[in-house]
Chain A
Amino acid sequence: MTNHWIDIKNTDVCLIIGSNAAEHHPICFKWVLKAKEERGAKIIHVDPKFSRTSARSDFHVPLRSGTDIAFMGGMIRYVLEENKYFHEFVNDYTNASFIVNDRYTFNNGLFGGYNPATKLYDKSTWQFEMDEQGKVRRDPTLRHPRCVLQLLKKHYSRYTPARVSEITGVQQETLLKVYKAFSETGKPDKAGTILYALGWTQHTVGVQNIRTSGIIQLLLGNMGIAGGGINALRGEPNVQGTTDHAILYNVLPGYLPVPRANMPTLAEYNKMTTPVSKEPNSINWWQNRPKYMVSLLKAYFGDYAHRENDFGYSWLPKAEIVKNEHDGDYSYIYLFDKMFNGELKGGSIWATNPAQSLPNSNKVRKALSNLDFLYISEIHANETTDFWRGPGMNPKEVKTEVFLFPSCHRAEKEGSISNSGRWILWHNKAVNPMGDSKPMGQIMIDIMNKVKKLYEKEGGVFSEPINKLNWYKKYEPEVVAKRINGTFVSGDNKGKLLTGFLDFSGDGSTASLNWLYAGTITDKDGNRLKRRSLEQTPLQAAIGLFPNFAWAWPMNRRILYNRASVNKDGQPWDPSRTVIRWDGSNWEGDVPDGGAPPLSHEGGKSPFIMLKDGLGQLYGTGLVDGPLPEHYEPVETPVLNHGLSNQLTNPCAKILFGGMDKISPPGDPRYPVVLTTYSLTEHWCGGSETRNVPSLLEAEPQLYVEISHELAKEKGIQNGDGVIVESVRGRVEAVAMVTVRIKPFKIQGKTVHLIGMPFAFGWTKKGIGDATNRLTLWAGDPNTSIPEYKACCVNIRKAETLTELD
């Protein structure tokens, strides 16, 4: 989230798209309702299914799953053509005036530089025109045909209400009503927020879905302000924190890109990953990246990391470079594909249940049986721990050796987690772990210590990084938290804790496991994550800011890009919702994004400090699949042509095809129905914890499928009937829930049906059903590799007999 949970109450219009906040983040929804009740805010819910979120909204916009860019593209067009955008904001704080080079093209759904052999773009034609000093050429009048604003206008002129309606299935008058309501927030004293969740990310156009919100929020001046922003409602217990700490193949802690094979030295790494800007007003924060990398290496290897050995940089593994859609990608999709092909030998699966929650579960389950060994840390047995005795498996034929470690509950250990609003919160240990269970941190330390002992005793291949690791004897969360925060390791301040980013150095005198978390524990204040004070100034109280409760990264800033909430003179666009304000010599309110004075003052800086040029990117060259979002159909789609171009699906989508990875062709008459999947209030994700709580299982006891009355009639299905849902990959039994919550869509004059299923039910609880993900497919977003769970094609029929359900 750029903002935070409580801040939702400050909004005038709340657009919830790709999220069912009321059911999946129930407690946050009171802040949505508070905005509605106390400010008269309008709530818009854009989602294929009517839910309890829709019930509390002013508008429910049911759109066909996977057509969000068409919907949002239509809104961009409306905002521009109706002149609803916030001119001063767009002029001062975005790259609207930047001129794109004259080789830029967009033809028939493809941008310039596309290579069908690699499914990648050569991005040189997307770049900006530069002047002799290396600065971007601009046209402040915004009239140049190749300036960003004009390119936006041209690109989205094709997204007419008629076209958008044909694609999404939403009536034109509904589209216009909603576009009008949200674009009212383009006024300086109005705030609009966008809330999204997995309904936006789990598509082969996931990142571009979110880019549309970036464009809209910049056009309307909704970034940095109270009641505004782009707010990802993160769904997992500490997914914000575990992303920050990089349990991911592509980054190291603190969003440092992972070293690749073409970066043999630290100098090469720094050169290739550190942005350089010639813009005088840009802070270009990532120019500090080398300091963070050296400090991470110092934290990893302690005194063994020094200038003479490149701080141990060579000890870090190097990933392959990205040569095509598949190479250099070590995410779930490819990890399981290699496991399936026998290329992986062993590994760890900790507190996650891929046999239930990854797409094409049949393949995932088969892949696990091709491993030599597996070590798992879990709180309950589930479909992954017990895969070797699952449906269709003969344990006597499964070679995989499984080590299952009991891990304890959060209440049985202390430590910190980061909520969706980036507040880092300390939780305390209530009781000792049950039985012989242990915290996962302790388990990892014990395993690694044993591995280290073996290497020390026996030697082994490339043993330096293991022998020289700055490791732990036992698990003491606060000791780890201090290493994360970082310390001075030499010089006058040796041994002292770092107080913030500005303390970092690239000479090896500082060590930190995550620069973003610097400032969490200080010598002066102790562990700030334990703070529970509700103290606030009147300015902070007016917008529900609690700067003394816990601590938020970065630097305890509660609203990111808050320098965009003020004009060039440092005065808030809307004084009644002041986030920060320049009092003539200082900022007051929230912690400002960078300490520089307002833009109109000497030394003033642009607000978007993490971006190279300091300006919000209406047009951006950073993504794999285009500088502007373009609508493409899901990889499995009921339509043959969407009418915007002949490019039916995302040209860069990562798709596995062949063997168990079957994909049905567009408009396949065997699978004419769109399936979307979702979570439940009573079960959490794959369900392996909540299924074992009797009251929750009683509330939601079995796998069901929501279908419209129209489809039920067509298929001869009654409410409560057992049904079989089939895709080209698999077959799932469920109970039919015939409902008005889902309606058929009219797409290009034809009826398209959509059905919805939860995915929380698995075979380890007898008679409740098994993985819905046996139906879903391995097609991923080209930027993130997040699979397209939210749209695939299936068919549904009444079952003669049921074996998976009691």
Chain B
Amino acid sequence: MKLTRRELLKITGAGAGAIALGGIGYNYLVMESYAKKLKIKGAREVISICPFCSVSCHFIAHVRNGKVVSTEGDPGYPVSEGALCAKGSTMLSMINSDHRLVKPLYRAPFSEKWEEKSWSWMIDKLARRIKETRDKNFIAKNESGQVVNRVDALFHMGSSQMSNEEASIVVQAMRAMGIVHIDHQARI
């Protein structure tokens, strides 16, 4: 009987009951002492999905003390059956990358640098820009006199990285503002 570590842990209830173990030919005590050293010991398992191609391989994030400490393919997703490609295998370093953006940044016109700003400062200023631009450029009727109620001066792009819920929210907001220049990666 061939078992992966994960399947073994599943069968044994993550090392809880030793009763069933005789039947699968493993020495439980050896397993347990090995498990103690694992960096995922005691970690919570959370299932997420690789954010690249649309095979949508699932992965298990092992979370300890609010931090993802390991990721591996999820054998429960019948498409990938636990497999991950070169990109999916690096999910841990992708999530914990120190290159990620973690602060709102602002670049003033003609400036040579980013400045860190608070969320509220950014959103207040941006909302003002959106309103000014929309009010100034709103088109009630087109050249033929047809009612169009739209704003051509504003646009939105992206993203296939959004969840369905995020996409729905963004489209609703853009249409409400009267924006028609809307596009994303489906077209490239």
Closest to A685 in B: B185
- Tell whether, in the assembled complex, residue A300 and residue B107 are in contact, meaning their CB atoms are under 8 Å apart: no
Asked if A617 is at the interface of the complex by the 8 Å CB criterion, the answer is: no
Q: Which of A407-445 contact B (CB under 8 A)?
A: 407, 409-413, 415-421, 423-425, 427-432, 434-441, 444-445
Give, as a whole number of angstroms, the nearest-CB distance from A272 to chain B: 14
Contact bitstring A489-509, B, C-beta under 8 A = 1, else 0? 000000000000000000000
A252 close to chain B: CB less than 8 A: yes
Q: Looking at the complex, which of B3-11, B20-28, B33-41, B117-125 is the stretch in contact with chain A?
A: B117-125
Which of A237-245, A277-285, A705-713 is the interface stretch? A237-245
Residues on B with beta carbons closer than 8 Å to the beta carbon of A419: 54-56, 79
Q: Map CB proximity to B onto A317-347 as digits: 1 under 8 Å, 0 otherwise.
A: 1111000000000111001001100011111
For B112-140 the 0/1 string (1 means CB < 8 A from A) is 10100001001111111111011101101
Contact of B182 with A402 in the complex, beta carbons under 8 Å: no
| Interface membership of A699, Cβ < 8 A | yes
Q: Please give the distance in Å from A346's CB to the nearest CB on chain B.
A: 5
- CA A163 – CA B183 in complex, angstroms? 39
Contacts of A416 in B (CB 8 A): 163-165
Q: In the assembly, what is the distance between CA of A409 and CA of B94, in Å?
A: 9
Interface residues of B in 135-175 (CB under 8 A from A): 135, 137-138, 140, 142, 144, 146-173, 175
CB neighbors of B among A693-711 (8 A): 693-696, 699
Tell me if A477 and B165 are in contact (CB < 8 A). Answer: yes
Instruction: Check B170–A247 contact: CB distance below 8 A.
Output: yes
Q: Which residues from chain A contact B169 at a C-beta distance below 8 Å?
A: 441, 444-445, 472, 475, 480
Q: Would A404 and B146 count as touching, CB distance under 8 A?
A: no
CB-CB nearest in chain B for A433: B102
A689 to B94, Cβ gap below 8 A? yes
Within the complex, the shortest CB–CB distance from A454 to chain B, in Å, comes to 5
Assuming the A-B contacts A330-B181, A682-B87, are A352 and B163 also in contact, with contact meaning beta carbons closer than 8 angstroms in the complex? Answer: no
B contacts, CB < 8 Å to A: 46-58, 61, 63, 66-68, 76-80, 83-88, 90-91, 93-97, 99-112, 114, 119, 122-131, 133-135, 137-138, 140, 142, 144, 146-173, 175-188
A347, B154: Cβ atoms closer than 8 Å: yes
Contact call A235/B54, Cβ cutoff below 8 A: yes
Known: A409-B95, A784-B187. 19 other contacts (CB 8 A): A243-B186, A247-B159, A249-B182, A261-B142, A345-B154, A352-B158, A399-B110, A407-B101, A409-B51, A420-B53, A435-B103, A437-B100, A437-B101, A440-B161, A446-B119, A460-B134, A481-B165, A484-B164, A534-B78
Give the complex CA separation of A534 and B77 in angstroms.
Answer: 9
In the complex formed, the residue of B with least CB distance to A441 is: B166
Contact B160 A239 (CB under 8 A): yes
Q: Which of A19-27, A72-80, A566-574 contacts B (4 or more CB under 8 A)?
A: A19-27
B176, A696: Cβ atoms under 8 Å?
Answer: no
Contact at B53–A235, with CB atoms within 8 Å? yes
Give 20 pairs: A residue, B residue, CB < 8 Å, sorted on A.
A5-B55, A247-B183, A252-B171, A330-B182, A346-B133, A351-B159, A379-B101, A381-B101, A395-B110, A399-B109, A406-B100, A410-B161, A431-B61, A469-B176, A477-B165, A682-B86, A692-B97, A693-B94, A695-B93, A786-B188
- Contact residues in A for B119 (Cβ distance below 8 Å): 436, 438, 446
Nearest chain-A residue to B186 (Cβ)?
A243
Closest to B94 in A: A693
Q: Quick check: B127 and A352 within 8 Å, CB to CB? A: no
Inter-subunit contact A454/B128 (CB<8 Å) = yes
Name which residue of chain A comes closest to B105, CB basis.
A404
- Chain A, Cβ-Cβ closest to B44: A430
CA–CA, A692 to B98, complex, Å?
9
Given contacts A352-B157, A430-B48, A431-B68, contact A405 B53 (CB under 8 A): no
Whether B168 and A514, one on each chain, are in contact in the complex, defined by CB atoms closer than 8 angstroms, is yes
Q: Which 9 A-B pairs have the closest CB atoms?
A: A435-B102, A415-B163, A351-B159, A317-B150, A347-B155, A236-B160, A450-B127, A352-B158, A406-B101
Distance in Å: Cβ of B61 to nearest Cβ of chain A: 4
- Write out the residue numbers on chain A whose beta carbons fall within 8 Å of the beta carbon of B128: 454
User: What chain A residues lie within 8 Å of B137 (beta carbons)?
Assistant: 345
CB <8 Å contact, A428 and B46: yes
User: Which residue of chain B lies nearest to A465 when distances are taken between CB atoms in the complex?
Assistant: B176
Q: Please, how many angstroms separate the alpha-carbon atoms of A549 and B108 in the complex?
A: 49
A425 to B94, CA, bound (A): 21
Q: Are A427 and B185 within 8 A (Cβ)?
A: no
A114 at the interface (CB under 8 A from B): no
- Contacts of A692 on B, CB cut-off 8 Å? 97, 99
Q: Please name all residues of chain A whose beta carbon is closer than 8 Å to the beta carbon of B150 when the two chains form the complex.
A: 317-319
- B175 to chain A: which residues have CB within 8 Å? 252, 300, 316-317, 465
A253 on the interface (CB 8 Å rule)? yes
C-alpha spacing A429/B165, complex, angstroms: 14
In the bound complex, do residue A388 and residue B53 qualify as a contact, i.e. CB atoms below 8 Å apart?
Answer: no
**Is there contact, CB below 8 Å, between B153 and A346?**
yes
Q: A396 at interface (Cβ–Cβ under 8 A)?
A: yes
Contacts of A466 in B (CB 8 A): 176-177
Name the interface residues of A570-593: CB closer than 8 Å to any CB of B. Answer: none
Question: With contacts A26-B85, A238-B160, A445-B169 known, is A343 near B90, CB below 8 A?
Answer: no
Q: Which residue of B lies closest to A419 (CB)?
A: B56
CB distance from B80 to the nearest CB of A (A): 5
Choose from B63, B91, B111, B172 the contact partner of A395 (Cβ within 8 Å). B111
**Of all chain B residues, which has the CB nearest A319?**
B180
A629 interface residue per 8 A CB criterion = no
> B168 to A440, Cβ gap below 8 A?
no
Given contacts A406-B102, A681-B87, A696-B86, contact A417 B188 (CB under 8 A): no
Q: Which of A245, A318, A461, A683 contacts B146 (CB 8 A)?
A: A318
Verify B166–A318 contact, CB threshold 8 A.
Answer: no
| Shortest CB distance B112–A (Å) | 4
| Best-surrounded residue of A350, A416, A460 (most CB of chain B within 10 A) | A350
**A247 B158 Cβ-Cβ under 8 A:** yes
Residues of the A chain whose Cβ atoms lie less than 8 Å from the Cβ of B47: 427-428
CB of A546 within 8 Å of the partner chain: yes
Tell me the complex Cα distance, A428–B60, Å. Answer: 10
In angstroms, Cα B27 to Cα A442, docked, is: 50
Contacts of B110 in A (CB 8 A): 395-399
Among A120-128, A149-157, A370-378, A618-626, which stretch is in contact with chain B? A370-378
Cβ of B164 and Cβ of A410 under 8 Å apart?
Answer: no
Closest to B60 in A: A430
Q: Is the CB of B51 within 8 A of A694?
A: no
Shortest distance between the CB of B160 and any CB in chain A (Å)? 4
Q: Is the CB of B54 within 8 A of A420?
A: yes
**Does the CB pair B157–A27 fall under 8 Å?**
no
* Interchain CA distance A244-B54 in the complex, whole Å: 14
Nearest-Cβ distance from residue A44 to partner chain B, whole angstroms = 21
With A247-B182, A300-B172, A347-B181 as given contacts, are A441 and B68 in contact (CB-CB < 8 Å)?
no
B114: chain A residues at CB < 8 Å are 404
Report the Cα distance A348→B122, complex, angstroms. Answer: 14
Find the B residue at minimum CB distance from A681: B86
Question: How far apart are the CA atoms of A472 and B165 in the complex, in Å?
Answer: 12
Q: B155 to A348, Cβ gap below 8 A?
A: yes
Q: Which of B57, B156, B162 contacts A348 (CB 8 A)?
A: B156
Bound-state Cα–Cα, A437 to B135, Å: 30
With A346-B129, A451-B130, A786-B187 in contact, do A436 and B103 touch (Cβ < 8 Å)?
Answer: yes
**Could you tell me the distance between the alpha carbons of A736 and B59 in the complex, rounded to whole angstroms?**
36
A647 contacts chain B at the CB level, 8 A cutoff: no
Roughly how many angstroms separate A248 CA and B156 CA in the complex, as a whole number? 9
Q: Which of B91, B123, B138, B186 contacts A462 (CB 8 A)?
A: B138
Chain B residues with Cβ below 8 Å from A402 are 105-107
- CA of A314 to CA of B133, assembled, Å: 21
Query: Are B178 and A350 in contact, CB atoms less than 8 angstroms apart?
Result: no
User: A70 on the interface (CB 8 Å rule)?
Assistant: no
- Minimum C-beta distance from B5 to chain A (A): 20
Distance to closest chain A CB from B78 (angstroms): 5
- The smallest C-beta distance from A9 to any residue of chain B, in angstroms, reads 11
Min CB distance A300 to B, Å, is: 6
Shortest C-beta distance, B120 to chain A (Å), equals: 9
**A266 contacts partner chain B, Cβ-Cβ < 8 Å:** no
